[in-house]
Structure 1
Amino acid sequence: MTQLLQRGRQSWSDIGGLATAEEIAQQPAVWRALATSLQTELPRVSAFLCDCLRNPAQRVILTGAGSSAYAGEIIADTLDAAWPASVRAVPTTSLLTHAELYLDANAPTLLVSFARSGDSPESVAAVELLRATVPGARFLHVTCNPDGALARQAGDGGHVCTLLMPAASCDRGFAMTSSFTSMVLATLCALSPQPAEQSVAQVNALAALAEQALAVWAAPVAELAAQRVGRVVYLGAGPLEALAKEAALKILELTAGQVQAMANTPLGFRHGPKAAVNGDTLVVLFHSAKALARRYDSDLLAELRRDGIAARCLTVGFGADIGVPAVEGFSDAWLAPLWLLMAQQYALHQSALLGLRPDNPFAGGTVNRVVQGVTIYQE
């Protein structure tokens, strides 16, 4: 295939964006590979977890930095509602500076770390912090790199379990794309109370929807991204608020900050952040799968369109401007990776429009694929 997301492969290569384009487009295949691997991996992870999630005293902390933190935020509340255990998302960047707010030496704690490379200094330091602070702490490493520091922490007396993503998910490009969606889906499956076969079936079903979405969305998203904007606002409720954060981060990263971005909830947006909207702003609202939430979505969208200030307002989701036919049985947390495909493509095309190299937008090295320059301090 010579065409990829509305541009020739050679053209993507010439502008330094082929890896990112491929990694966005390959996600249906990566999710199918993930579903296959989970058939054997989920029983092993289940044995490691045992009945800890049924214990009301159990603390589960989903952690990571940047995109990896948003992965935890997307799924934390859904999992917390499903189990007696307390499940919350705490970024490593908060855990390391204010550990006393999140850790209790007397509470059994499972740290679930999301990491594309597994080599970020905060990821490694967060594990060491829990080892030093919480006796008997246990660790589930969800990572894409079998050679990373986290993945190498095997064994440890049964206190560590590593869940590896398919090899193709370890993005070569600067921005997390395949890695992000794979880790979200894998952890939803691993920590879900539903039977493993049901979770695997859902991943395969989402892969089919993603394949359809990529084919249908490619042209309209490329056309949308052909117009320059100065600001992009992503809005979403519940788990989709964290999706909005990840979508905003993608446009910031791939345009090297030339396009400013923000994220909020549809209801929260009126409480001040709406002041950011001007004639150079694109507003994208992720439609919730929940009927009640969609009523609030629709009210805000109608208000923004009446205001007539934004350059454009559009929706992503079931029955949206950019969407797929409605399918029953998927919550917002499960659907977030699907809707993210739109934002990933949009950011990629905006990067190309600005004359950047999407695989490495920061030629001067001021921002890096694996964070650098972090000094870890002790109390």
Structure 2
Amino acid sequence: MTNKTTEHLGVPEADLIASGAIWTAREIEQQPRMLQQTHELLSAMRDRIQAFVAPIAGNPAARIVLTGAGTSSYIGQCLAPLLDRQLAARVDAVPTTDLVSAPYLYLDPAQPLLLVSFGRSGNSPESLAAVELAESLVRDVRHLVVTCNAEGALNTVPARESMTLLLPEETHDTSFAMTSSFSCMLYATLLAFSGAQALDDRIGPIALATERVINEFRLSLQELALHGFDRVVYLGSGLFQGLAREAALKLGELTNGAVATCFDSPLGFRHGPKTFITDKTLVMVFVSNNPLTRQYDHDLLEELRQDGCAARIIEVAAQRREPQAPDTLLVPGMSAASDIDLLWPYVAVAQIYAFNASRALGLSPDSPNKQGTVNRVVQGVRIHSITP
């Protein structure tokens, strides 16, 4: 009896190891399991979390700032519009790169603040500086750190009131690009402000849909990546605007900039960015389940197909429409889900495509930038003191 060859994302493990792709593949594939573990871990802390965030979240005069750099900042961009509607406090997504370079535009000394800091490693210079700036400039401030690294410096930055949500160790991605760290920090933050009980019945369908996307779409996404598109556009409305940015970054990172990327909302795309499209461009649209928003997504999709300028147009959707549009990736079991719950299966599509595009170019997804001009933890940042 022969042993079955171990595979990840449909590729034999030995091939992944040899080509420098094993960590990226594993970390994409582990997301359904890591989401479940994150839910269980934080559910056990639900009372402590609620007690910590409630004084700010329930205060209409207060503000919550979701912050991080790069992929970590897009977590906030995905969540801020929804949390701002749900919570009494104002909620904004502000990258640490903006906070550090122009703190007086974003930090009000008199407004109570909860700074939510995302960090895979917790060692980014801007993340540490953002905490220190908030401590020095804001009179009433507390810090919620969401991180994947128990040894990260972000966990030990001096602060008056702070709490750390430390996610399962496996979410501290070894690969260059953030995958399971993004999805689990996103989920942890939604749980922290929505309450674990609100997600008890949703985590199962979210994890299952993400698992099915990984298992059922990997071959079609592998074939798509072999077409050699030199430009890719990601479009999403509402919560999916942040997702479109993350998808564009993931492809840029894993292809080492060899594929040009663009992101926008479907309505915004008509206002100039549409000129980005050539006959070698792939367009991928993350379609909303909201009835109104979905109509705008479909309008743009039909317009692009009628234009006939793009090489391929893919719609990633959870609701079937008749007649079924060509090149549709239909996420199973989520036709009645809210858009927030679609973020996880949708981002898996973008990650798998980026992984395969990297391999199609002969790159190593675990470390695609051989020049050393970008790093897993950013380097070369000088933090300057505030001018009195």
Counterparts of residues 164-313 of structure 1 (less than 5 Å): 164-192=166-194, 195-313=195-313
1:220-250, Cα deviation, whole Å (9 max, x unpaired): 1111112111000000001101100000000
Q: Name the residue aligned to 1:32.
A: 36
CA distance in 2, matches of 1:116, 1:217: 27
Q: Tell whether the 8 Å contact from 1:55 to 1:85 is kept in structure 2 after alignment.
A: yes
Q: 91, 94, 99: which is aligned to 2:95?
A: 91
- For 1:165, the aligned partner's letter is L
Q: Name the residue aligned to 2:132.
A: 128
Counterparts of residues 11-50 of structure 1 (less than 5 Å): 11-50=15-54
- How many aligned positions are there? 375
- For 2:72, the aligned partner's letter is S
> What's the offset of the Cα at 1:12?
0.8
Deviates more, 1:313-322 or 1:301-310: 313-322
- For 2:165, the aligned partner's letter is L
CA distance in 2, matches of 1:238, 1:295: 13
CA distance in 2, matches of 1:68, 1:49: 20
> What's the offset of the Cα at 1:52?
2.2
- For 1:102, the aligned partner's letter is Y
Residue 153 of structure 2: SS of its match in structure 1?
A: coil
> What's the offset of the Cα at 1:163?
0.4
TM-score with structure 2 setting the length: 0.94
Asked if residue 365 in structure 1 is aligned to residue 369 in structure 2, the reply is no
Asked if residue 138 in structure 1 is aligned to residue 136 in structure 2, the reply is no
Q: Tell whether the 8 Å contact from 1:142 to 1:183 is kept in structure 2 after alignment.
A: yes
CA distance in 2, matches of 1:76, 1:13: 38
CA distance in 1, matches of 2:156, 2:97: 22
Q: 352, 361, 365: which is aligned to 1:345?
A: 352
Q: Tell whether the 8 Å contact from 2:205 to 2:333 is kept in structure 1 after alignment.
A: no
CA distance in 2, matches of 1:341, 1:332: 15
> What's the offset of the Cα at 1:42?
2.2
CA distance in 1, matches of 2:122, 2:46: 21
Q: Name the residue aligned to 2:323.
A: none
Q: Tell whether the 8 Å contact from 2:149 to 2:169 is kept in structure 1 after alignment.
A: yes
- For 2:319, the aligned partner's letter is G
Judged with a 3 Å threshold, the aligned counterparts in structure 2 of structure 1 residues 201 and 150 are, in CA distance, closer, same or farther, namely farther
> What's the offset of the Cα at 1:41?
2.1
- For 1:100, the aligned partner's letter is Y
TM-score with structure 1 setting the length: 0.96
Residue 201 of structure 1: SS of its match in structure 2?
A: coil
CA distance in 2, matches of 1:252, 1:374: 21
1:116-166, Cα deviation, whole Å (9 max, x unpaired): 000000000000000110023100000000100112348x55x00000111
Residue 330 of structure 2: SS of its match in structure 1?
A: coil
Query: Which segments of 5 or more consecutive residues in structure 1 lack a partner in the other structure?
Result: none
Q: 351, 361, 382: which is aligned to 1:375?
A: 382
Deviates more, 1:106-115 or 1:321-330: 321-330
CA distance in 2, matches of 1:338, 1:305: 25
Judged with a 3 Å threshold, the aligned counterparts in structure 2 of structure 1 residues 327 and 334 are, in CA distance, closer, same or farther, namely closer
Q: Name the residue aligned to 2:64.
A: 60
CA distance in 2, matches of 1:43, 1:117: 26
